[in-house]
Amino acid sequence: MISLVTLVLAANNPFLAEGLQHEKDLDFEKCVQRLKQAATQWKNDADEVREIELHAGLCQFNLGDRKAAMEHFRVALRIELSTELPAYTSPKAVELFMKVKKSLEAQAPPMRDEDLLAEDKPIEKDPPKDAPKNVKLEPPVVTGPSPVVAFLSHRAVPLSLGAISIGAAITGAILGARATTLATEANAARFESDFYRLGADATGSATAATIAWILAGTSAIGAVLTWWLMGETPPAAATP
């Protein structure tokens, strides 16, 4: 006979409910299968797990597997030692169940939750002899910037002048080419107004190109001089 508590718990787990029905119908093989699903394919609380294990043990017992039945009974009793079998259970099943229960009662009582807390446990053993002592963590020593960063910082001025020189030279070349093109178009113009307009544009581009070339040359000279004046190697990076 299945208890009222078991029926209430089975209402939340369809596998448990079906397993209990198979147990009632004396189909113990299907009972074991469904109770296994009830344990693995459904989220159960402790009471539901206890009922699953209890009835799985009864079905295994009725299949003649006493060892499996004892394991299921043991799990159920570990959850709650006061667990009891349903009424009208076979006397032989009751005998096996009580055997498991007495073996658990003879064991040491389970530890309290507070006894398992690490901070409540006294240190019983000394640390191993090779354990590090007085370990002091220190930040890594900074030895200064990398050689590449130090080199670029030391040569910042000549490198900047060199970049300006290259940019001005490219700009001068573009403007010079444009001045040549405009001059060619002015000479080929059929109208006087186009000739003067294109000629003025060509003159402006040529002037801008000249200025760009002068800037490029001046920057290049400055880059060479500052490179030479700063020496061959940067000063040593300071160490703490």
Percent of the chain's residues with pLDDT above 90: 24
Q: What is the mean pLDDT of residues 126-144?
A: 54
Q: CA 239 to CA 232: how far, in whole Å?
A: 21
Taking CA atoms, 216 is separated from 58, 168, 173, 206, in Å, by: 99, 5, 11, 15
Local confidence band at 239 (pLDDT 50, 70, 90 cut-offs):
very low
Quick check: 232 pLDDT over 70? no
Q: Give pLDDT, residue 219.
A: 80
- Domains of the chain: which residue ranges? 4-105, 147-229
Q: How many residues does the chain have?
A: 240
Whether residue 189 is predicted with pLDDT greater than 80 in this model: the reply is: no
Higher-scoring residue by pLDDT: 79, 2: 79
At residue 152, the pLDDT reads: 67
Q: Region 14-20: what's the mean pLDDT?
A: 86
pLDDT of residue 5: 45
Q: What is the pLDDT of residue 118?
A: 44
Q: What is the pLDDT of residue 126?
A: 52
**Structure confidence at residue 196 (pLDDT):** 79
pTM value is 0.42
Higher-confidence position of 133 and 180: 180
In this model, does residue 134 exceed pLDDT 90?
no
**Spatial distance between the Cα atoms of 120 and 163, rounded to a whole number of angstroms:** 70
pLDDT > 60? residue 212: yes
User: In the prediction, which pLDDT does 115 show?
Assistant: 47
Of 34-48, 53-67, 192-206, give the lowest mean pLDDT range. Answer: 192-206
Q: Which class is 4-105 in CATH?
A: mainly alpha
pLDDT tens, 65-87? Answer: 999 999 999 999 999 888 889 88
Q: 113-150 burial by CB neighbour count: b if 16+ within 10 A, else e?
A: eeeeeeeeeeeeeeeeeeeeeeeeeeeeeeeeeeeeeb
On average, the pLDDT of the chain sits at 77
Q: Would you state the pLDDT for residue 202? A: 76
Question: Residues 206, 211, 216, 221: is their CA dihedral positive or negative?
Answer: positive
Buried b or exposed e, range 183-219, using 16+ CB within 10 angstroms: bebbeeeeeeeeeeebbebbeebbebbeebbebbeeb
* Residue 128 falls in which region: left (phi positive, over 0), alpha (psi -120 to 50) or beta: beta
